[in-house]
């Protein structure tokens, strides 16, 4: 434990714990929203264990609760999770070299873990951060979803509790540090505007992918050679 303390640092460990707590609140809201929307409690629990991606879970749940086709729910979840493909390359070194660690480790790749790992330098620090953050998030997210699903029937009206605001709030808090950089902020602004404009016309999930077009707008692309987080090869 002491070496863990030293490698990650007290500040980062505290940040990881706080993100786990925040995600637990979001997970509880996911479970409660699913069950109060008429799904059996095992559905949000199974989804959280097997999919383990908050954004896709909420997107798929939204389609199902709106009476949409399960196929559309799967499609919107997959489109949203396409970002995990580049994420996987970005943090691949942090999973460890052996197949036995890469196979289970891959399942732990999430927005939060990537944000923490990209902020660390040095293979050992990245590796310890990845596994600590990944396992802690997996445990807290799934326990919270199960708790929310069990309580969901009793809670009644989840909208009255404002639970639907928890998920976008935690995403925004994750994105804000990177938005301090002017170029990134501009790309996010253009991309988000495009996503919002497309939302009424495109199937759920696609507008968010469209936002990547914001990176192509002149003046919103990170300059070559800039040393941002993750810019260093190793």
Partner 1 sequence: MPLLAIAVLAAGTYAFRLAGPLLRDRVEVPGRLRRLLPAATAVLLTALAVTAALTEDGGFAGWARPAGVLAAGVLALRRAPFPVVVVAATAVTAALRLCGVP
Interface with partner 1 in residues 97-156 (CB under 8 A): 102-103, 105-107, 109, 111, 114-115, 118
Label residue 230 exposed, middle or buried (CB < 10 Å: 0-12, 13-18, 19+). middle
DSSP code, position 40: -
Site string for partner 1, 75-94 (x = CB under 8 A): --xx-xxxxxxxxxxxxxx-
41 binds partner 1 (CB under 8 A): no
- From the CB of 102, what's the least distance to partner 1, in Å? 4
Size of the site for partner 1 (CB under 8 A): 105
Among 64, 128, 144, 146, binds partner 1 (CB under 8 A): 64
Q: For residue 222, what are the contacts with CB-CB under 8 A and spacing of at least 6?
A: 183, 184, 228
Stretch that binds partner 1, among 2-10, 43-51, 121-129, 137-145 (CB under 8 A): 43-51
The CA distance from 150 to 31, in Å, is 8
Nearest CB to partner 1, comparing residues 4 and 231: 231
166 binds partner 1 (CB under 8 A): yes
Using CB under 8 A, which residues numbered 172 to 211 contact partner 1? 172-176, 178-179, 181, 183-184, 187-188, 191-192, 195-196, 199-201, 204, 207-211
Among 31, 41, 55, 134, binds partner 1 (CB under 8 A): 55
Stretch that binds partner 1, among 4-12, 71-79, 120-128, 141-149 (CB under 8 A): 71-79
The CA distance from 196 to 163, in Å, is 22
What is the phi-psi region of residue 156: left when phi exceeds 0, alpha when psi lies from -120 to 50, beta otherwise?
left
35 binds partner 1 (CB under 8 A): no
Q: What are the residue ranges of helices labelled H in the chain? A: 2-8, 10-36, 42-50, 54-65, 70-81, 84-91, 99-106, 111-118, 123-155, 166-179, 182-198, 206-210
């Amino acid at each position: 434990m002491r070496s863990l303390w030293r490698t990650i640092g007290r500040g980062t460990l505290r940040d990881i714990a706080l993100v786990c707590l925040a995600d637990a609140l979001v997970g509880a809201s996911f479970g409660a929203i699913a069950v109060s929307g008429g799904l059996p409690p095992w559905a949000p629990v199974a989804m959280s264990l097997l999919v383990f991606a908050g954004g896709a879970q909420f997107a798929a749940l939204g389609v199902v609760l709106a009476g949409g086709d399960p196929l559309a729910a799967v499609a919107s979840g997959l489109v949203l999770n396409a970002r995990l493909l580049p994420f996987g390359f970005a943090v691949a070194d942090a999973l460890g070299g052996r197949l036995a660690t890469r196979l289970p480790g891959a399942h732990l790749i999430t927005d939060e873990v990537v944000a923490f790992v990209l902020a660390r330098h040095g293979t050992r620090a990245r590796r310890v951060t990845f596994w600590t953050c990944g396992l802690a998030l997996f445990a807290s997210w799934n326990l919270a979803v199960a708790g929310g699903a069990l309580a969901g029937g009793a809670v009644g009206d989840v909208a009255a509790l404002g639970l639907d605001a928890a998920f976008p709030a935690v995403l925004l808090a994750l994105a804000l540090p990177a938005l301090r950089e002017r170029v990134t902020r501009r790309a996010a602004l253009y991309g988000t505007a495009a996503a919002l404009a497309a939302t009424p016309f495109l199937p759920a999930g696609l507008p968010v992918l469209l936002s990547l077009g914001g990176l192509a707008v002149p003046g919103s692309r990170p300059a070559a050679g800039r040393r941002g987080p993750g810019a260093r090869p190793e």
